[in-house]
Structures are given as structure tokens and as C-alpha cells.
Structure 1
Amino acid sequence: MEVALRIGVNLLKINRVCVHSASRITDSYAKQIQLNRDFSTEVTVNAAPLAVKKHKVSKAMKAYLERARENDEFMKTQKLEYQIGKRHLANMMGEDAETFTQEDIDNAIAYLFPSGIFDKRARPLMKSPEEVFPARKAAEFDETGRPFHSMFYTGRPNFFKLLYDIVEEMNKIHDLEERMLRRGTRADANQKIDFTGFQWMPKEQLESMLVEQINDLEYTNFTNAMDRLVSLPFSYKCQNFIKKFSKPLLDQTKQLEIPKPQFDADGRQFVTTYECLRKTARGDVTVRMPGTGKITINGHDITYFEELQSREQVLFPLIFAGLLGKVDVEANVEGGGTSGQAGAIRWGIAMSLRSFVDQEMVESMRLAGLLQRDYRRRERKKFGQEGARRKYTWKKR
């Protein structure tokens, strides 16, 4: 009896343990299911914003996009005004607006406006907006602010990329030279680049090409690097690269068209220079060769100018060219004072003498400043001042 009772108690305990274990397993399984549901819900909720999340645009990119938009609107307005002005000008000249070129515009302006306007600020101008307004750099970084150019943080990526390209060309030439020396071949002296009559691109033009501002030291480094590249034996292999940054050095005397002398009734050569300008004086000068040194100014001789300085101004081109007493000068001048009239005649004589001297003397006259027109004018009086620069005396009391 006791044994049966003990067996029943033990069975009862085992049953309780099994029931308790089953309940624990059931509770754990239920918690796991609930946890999975919560996790899936959380993932679904958090995944929704990721699908529509946008990339943040950096402040630099926002500023650039704003400036680019303003520049595009400005250029669009300028182009529209240019097209309207071009059409009006074509109608005034009786031409077809569709085939009216920039050369036609310049000729029309020169025809419609008086030629006496020689001050640059007073000269009318009508050019395409792309020629008037400087070019702008494109975006150098993406929307996240990451720069495109590998040399962006140098401050002048285009300039330093140019120096890098020059070094790359040098390395290519050095490699080529080593290969040729192994073969026993040397550079052809006939193909060597002759840089005579050429110069490197000026600083302003280089800045316009790079769309970057560079200082004098950086420009000097550029020219030194290019000189070193040209001095290499096989530099003719990169001739196209060198030509991109060189321009012909034209003689200034070749740019000035020298008129050919004409012959008068006596068989003497003569050249007449019109529009001799200085301040408000206007005149024309005729130089005849051979002559006896006679100088006529408005029907008078050199004593037309009472001041000695004005007479020296008239005689200086003749003395400089060594033609004093060998040519005759006839001048007609009006307007202005003695200084302006003497300056106008001096310039007219110098320009006329180019037809009677050799090219070397013309170059010497140019270097002496005889062929340069003097555009200086008297500075006007300002409002609130006693003169052009003179101020009224300030008194405290």
C-alpha cells in the first residue's frame, strides 16, 4: 500500500514538472512570436523613410546652383537684348537681320557714329554677351560636396593640372630619348622647333583659358617649364601641345600700314596724313620729298608758334629721322591751343615720314614714341571742387 502510494506521488510530481515545462515552452514560444512581430513591424516602419530618403545637398553646392541660376537668367536677358538691338540696327541699315554678322554690326556703328569720338569710354560697343562678360567655371563638386578634380584643394586646379601635363610631356620625351639612344638614333636637328618670332601666351590670355587667376610667380613658373620643354631634343614630338600656348610675336611696324608715296605735278613724292589729333586740335599734314626744309603751317612758316617748345615739337620727328632740310612740310590745323596743334602736327609728320625711311628707322621711331597717338585730355572740373583736383580751402571756423 505504501509502495503504491509513493509511486502515485512520484507520478504526480512528474506530471507537474511536465506541465510546468510545457507551459514555460509555450510562454517562450509565444514571446518569440510576439518579438518577431514587433521586429517585423519596426523594420517595416523604419524601412519606409529609407525608400524616400534624399541625398543632402551641401551648402557649397546650393550656393553654386543659386549663382548659376542667376547667371543663366542674366545671360538670357543680355542675349535677348543683343538680338533686339541687332535687329533694329539691321533695319536701320536696310539689311536682313538673319544674315547680319558681327562684322556688319561694327561697320554699321562706324558709319552711324562720328569718327571724332576717340575716348574709349565714349565709343559705342555692341558685342555678343559671350564676348563682353567673362566665362564662369562649371561646378567643381557633386551634390554631396565631393570635388571632381583631383587637384581641387590646390586652389587653382586647372593651372596645376597644366603644370602636371607639362611634366608628363617631358617624361614622355625623356623615355623616347632613352629608347632612341639604345638604338643609336639621335634627334633630327632639322625638325627642332624654331621659337624665333614667337612668345608664350600672355598672362591675361592664359587666365582666360584656364578661367583662373594666377600671380606673376606662377606665370613665371609656367614660362620656365615651357622653355625647358622646348629645349629638349625631341620636343618636336609634342609640337601640337606647345603651339596651344604660344603666339606669334609680330613686329609692331608690320601692323601699321605704311602708305606708298604719290607723285605731284612737279614729280616729287608726297604723303598726306589726315585726322591728326591732339586734345581738341584737328589737322592734316603733307610731306614732300625732295625738299628744302620749308615748313608751312596754315599759310605761315614755323613762326606760327610763338613758343619755342611748340616749335621743337614740330621739328623733333624731322631731326630724329635725319630729314631736316630734306623734305617740305605743309600742315593745316584748327581748334585747340598751341600745345594741341603742335602735338597734332608732330604726329602727322612722324606718320608721313614712315614712307621715306627704312624699316629700322620706323622701328626706332616707334620705340621713341613718335608713332603713338597721344590720347591725353584735360581733366574736367568736378562738382564741389575748385578745379579738376584742387579742393576748396577747408576752414573749421
Structure 2
Amino acid sequence: MIRKINLLLEPLKYLKIQQNFEARLISTTVNLFNESTAERPATSVANIKSKNTLNKAMKSYLERAQQHDEFMKTEKHQFEIGKRHLANMMGENPETFTQDDIDNAIEYLFPSGLYDKRARPLMKPPEEVFPQRKAAEFDETGRPYHFLFYTGRPNLYQVLHDTVEKINELNNFEDTMIRKNLQPDPNLALELSGSQWLDKNTLEQKLVEPVSDGEYSNFLKAMDRLCSLPYSHKAKDFIMEYRKPLMSNSEAFDVIKPQIGPDGRQFVTTYECRRKRAIGNVTIRFPGTGKISINGQDINYFKGIQQREQLLFPLIFTNMQRKVDIEAEVQDGGESGQAGAIRYGIAWGLRSFIDQEYIENMRLAGLLTPDFRIRERKKPGQKGARKKFTWKKR
């Protein structure tokens, strides 16, 4: 009997629950409407949301990024102050004082005999001094942006991924041209002379990632594979992003224009050619018969064969040994220093009579680089520059 009564009251119970639920829903809606119409700070919800959604990794990154931004802001401010002081010292307008003016001013005010450029004083913008920082790689929830994030080198593997895509595209294009019985135009072949691949350190700075030797080797192999394709010129823009010229603009000195002598021949004179303590002036006349004059004497001025070979090496290297005449005046130093000074003067003057390819080969061979090495002095309390006296305990 009791069970039948409960079965009869069951629908009434569900009806009551439904009425209570509808009452609570109406009450909640009214409260939300009242809260939305009330005046309150607009960023409170956003602040609460950001606090609830930011994970620990993102919070840590934001803190480091804020510290880095404050540090760079301070360094930029100090750089601007230093630049204005330096411009005032040189009597220049601080508003038009460029980086070249800064370098020239430092070289003038702080002359240094140090040969290593990294040991000399400098003043550069903070962006060039301090390494670049990588941007955030994940969103507020900790989900990485890049699909190669978990490789540990997303930027490097993105380059390799793009390289493979370029190779596949060029292979497909080559297959299409073969079906049409068309051959690649040799005039459009990719020309890479005069440039080289970015070195490992430069590539790390470009990618803002550390690169191991094995990964750098894989990068070079992939790029060489891309360049070996018949239609690689279609990916020239992508390839040249990772190559640099062999000679930078700062090292590409202007070639001296030859002058015309009384005899109608062209000549170029290179002054103050130095090696060790020797100083010489070298004049090259074109055309010539290979005559060499050193302080009024012929090549027998040097008694040693090694010094003569050093003297003739630039002429043999450029195939100009019987096409020009050499007149050199050298003083101070020994035979080795005088031969090195004359060799540098010959190499420097030959640039006016040879093409750019020979000049680049001379630079790669080291003929256009002055040798600043000198004999190291003896130290007090020592037997020589590095050698020590024999130490005896008893």
C-alpha cells in the first residue's frame, strides 16, 4: 500500500524539483543583469581570467621579458647620453652624429696599438652588443605555437623543412620540363662564386638557437643538395639568405687608378709597405718585361732563395711575371722583413692591372693582408722572450 502511494507521489516530486530549478534560473539571470548594469572596473574580469589562465612557464617568461626590456631601455638611454657627450667633445651636432662618426671619434680619442679588434674600445648600440632574445614560443595556456617546438631547435628544423620543400618543388618542376622535352637554360644557372655559407656562429645568431656541429653539417648538406639541382636558380632568394659575400664592403678597398708616366706606360706606386721593421715603396709599371729593381740592384739583392721566392710569388700567382716591371726602395729590417714588405707592395699594386677574379683569389691566398707580426722583446729576468733560465733547487 505504501509503495503504491510513493509511485503516485513520484511525478509531484519531479514537478517540484523542476519548479525550484526554474526559480533559481530566473533569480540567477536577474542577478547577472543587475551586476552587468552596475558600475565596476572593466579590467577586473580580464585580470581574474589572466590570473587563472596563465601557467607558470608563461608567468616566468613574462617576468624575464619585462626584466630584459627594462635592462635594454636603460642601456639605450645610457648609449644616447654617451653619444651626446662624444659629439660635444668632437664639436659635432648630437642629432646628426652617426655610428661611423662614433667609431672615428673613438679611434681618434683612444688610439690603440692592439691588433685584435675585439680588444679595442668600442661604442655600439645595445641591440648589437647584447644577444637577441627569442620571443615567446607558447600561448597563455602553455600550448606551443610552432609545430616543431618539441624538436628543441624549431627554427633550424624549419629551415631544413623549407629546404626539403624547395627540393621537392624543383624536382616536380624538372619532371614537368622533361615531359615537355625542354632543357634548363645554362645562362640561368645559379652563380654562387664570391659568396659562402654562413658560418656556425652567424647561423646561430640568425636562428637565435644553439646549433651543434652535426646539425650544422646537415644544414650544409641540405643546402648543397638544393644548389646542385638544375633549376636551383628558382630558389635563389631562399638560398642567398644563408650565404654571405667573401669580402665585406669594409674590406673591399678601392683599386688605385693607374697613372701615365713620361714613357707612356701605366704605373702604380704603393707607399709605406711594412713587414717587421722594414719599410718600402713599390712601383709597378705596365706593360713591362719582368725587370725587377731593388734599391738599384736586381733580384740578386736578396742572397737567400726563400726571399726571392717570396718576392716572385704574387707575380707567379697572377701570371704577371713577364708583363710588368718592378721598382722597389726598401730600408731597415733584415732580408726576411724587406722581402715581405716588397711582396705586400707588389700584391697591392697588381690589383690595378688584373681582373676581379684574380683579386679575390689573392685575398683568399692572404697576399692582400698585411703581416703585422714582429719579434717579441726579451723580458727582464728571463733568457729570452719566453725562454727562462734553468732553475736549480740546490
TM-score by length of 1: 0.64
In the alignment, which residue of structure 2 is the partner of 1:126?
A: 123
Match of 1:203 in 2: 199
Contact 1:187 1:233 in 2 (8 A): no
Structure 2 CA distance for partners of 1:82 and 1:391, relative to 1, 3 Å: farther
Contact 2:291 2:325 in 1 (8 A): yes
The AA in structure 1 aligned to 2:162 is D
Question: Contact 1:281/1:337 (CA < 8 Å) preserved in 2?
Answer: yes
Three-state SS of the structure 2 residue aligned to 1:197 is coil
SS of the residue corresponding to residue 225 of structure 1 reads: helix
Report the equivalent of 2:291: 293
2:280–2:328: 8 Å Cα contact kept in structure 1?
Answer: no
Percent of aligned positions with the same letter in both sequences? Answer: 57
Residues 381 and 217 of structure 1: CA distance in aligned 2, closer, same or farther (over 3 Å): farther
Tell me what 1:83 maps to: 80
User: Any conservation in 1 of the 2:280–2:341 contact (CA below 8 Å)?
Assistant: yes
Equivalences for residues 330-341 of structure 1 within 5 A: 330-334=328-332, 336-341=333-338
Alpha-carbon separation, structure 1, partners of 2:326 and 2:229: 56
For residues 214-242 of structure 1, the C-alpha deviation after alignment (integer angstroms, 9 at most, x for no partner) is: 23432332343344445667766655444
Q: For the Cα contact (< 8 Å) 1:91–1:97, is it kept in 2?
A: yes
Amino acid aligned to 1:167: V
Amino acid at match of 2:267: F
Are the structure 2 counterparts of residues 333 and 145 from structure 1 closer, same or farther at C-alpha, using a change threshold of 3 Å?
farther
**Alignment gaps of 5+ in structure 2:** 1-47
Structure 1 equivalent of residue 341 of structure 2: 344
For 1:375, the equivalent position in structure 2 comes to 372
SS of residue paired to 1:355: helix
Alignment of 1:170-249 (within 5 A): 170=167, 189=184, 194-197=189-192, 201-204=197-200, 205-229=202-226, 240-247=237-244
**How many aligned residue pairs are there?**
341
> By how many angstroms is 1:344 displaced?
1.5
User: 1:81-137 CA deviation, whole Å, 9 max, x = no partner?
Assistant: 322332233224432211222233344456666697754345443322212332122
CA deviation string 1:247-306 (max 9, x = no partner): 566799x94543232123343432111242323444332233447835233x77767667
**For the structure 1 residues 78 and 344, does the alpha-carbon distance in structure 2 shift closer, same or farther, using more than 3 Å as the test?**
farther
Gaps of 5+ in 1: 1-50
Offset at residue 202 of structure 1 (A): 1.4
CA contact (8 A) 1:294 1:325 kept: no
Cα contact 1:119–1:375 (8 A) shared by 2: no
Read off the aligned partner of 1:159 and give its amino acid letter.
Answer: L
Superposition deviation, residue 211 in structure 1:
0.9
Q: Deviations over 1:3-56 (max 9, x none)?
A: xxxxxxxxxxxxxxxxxxxxxxxxxxxxxxxxxxxxxxxxxxxxxxxx898578
1:373 is paired with a residue whose SS is coil
In 2 relative to 1, CA 284–74 (structure 1 residues): closer, same or farther, beyond 3 Å?
farther
Name the aligned partner's letter for residue 78 of structure 2: E
In structure 2, what is the Cα distance between the partners aligned to 1:238 and 1:188? 18
SS of 2:131's equivalent in the other structure is coil
Contact between 1:193 and 1:230, CA under 8 Å: does it hold in 2? no
Cα displacement (A) at 1:160: 1.2
> Is contact 2:284–2:325 with CA below 8 Å preserved after alignment?
yes
Match of 2:33 in 1: none
* CA shift digits 1:303-326 (9 cap, x unpaired): 766766545544544565553696
138-147 or 96-105, which moves further after superposition? Answer: 138-147
SS of 1:131 mapped into structure 2: helix
**CA distance in 2 between partners of 1:236 and 1:313 (Å):** 42
Aligned-partner SS, 1:98: helix
Distance in 1 (CA, whole Å) between partners of 2:225 and 2:156 is 17
Asked if the contact 1:197–1:249 (Cα under 8 Å) also holds between the matched residues in 2, the reply is: no
- Cα 1:282–1:75, aligned 2, differ >3 Å: closer, same or farther? farther
Cα offset for 1:189? 4.1
Residue 105 to residue 158, structure 1, CA distance change in 2 (3 Å): same
Q: C-alpha deviations, 1:324-344, integer Å up to 9, x for none? A: 69614132445x554333312
Aligned to 1:283: 280
Q: 1:262 to 1:169 in 2, by over 3 A?
A: closer
**Aligned-partner SS, 1:331:** strand
Query: Which range is displaced more, 267-276 or 224-233?
Result: 224-233
Mapped partners of 2:239, 2:355: distance in 1: 35
Q: What value does the CA root-mean-square deviation take over the aligned residues?
A: 4.6
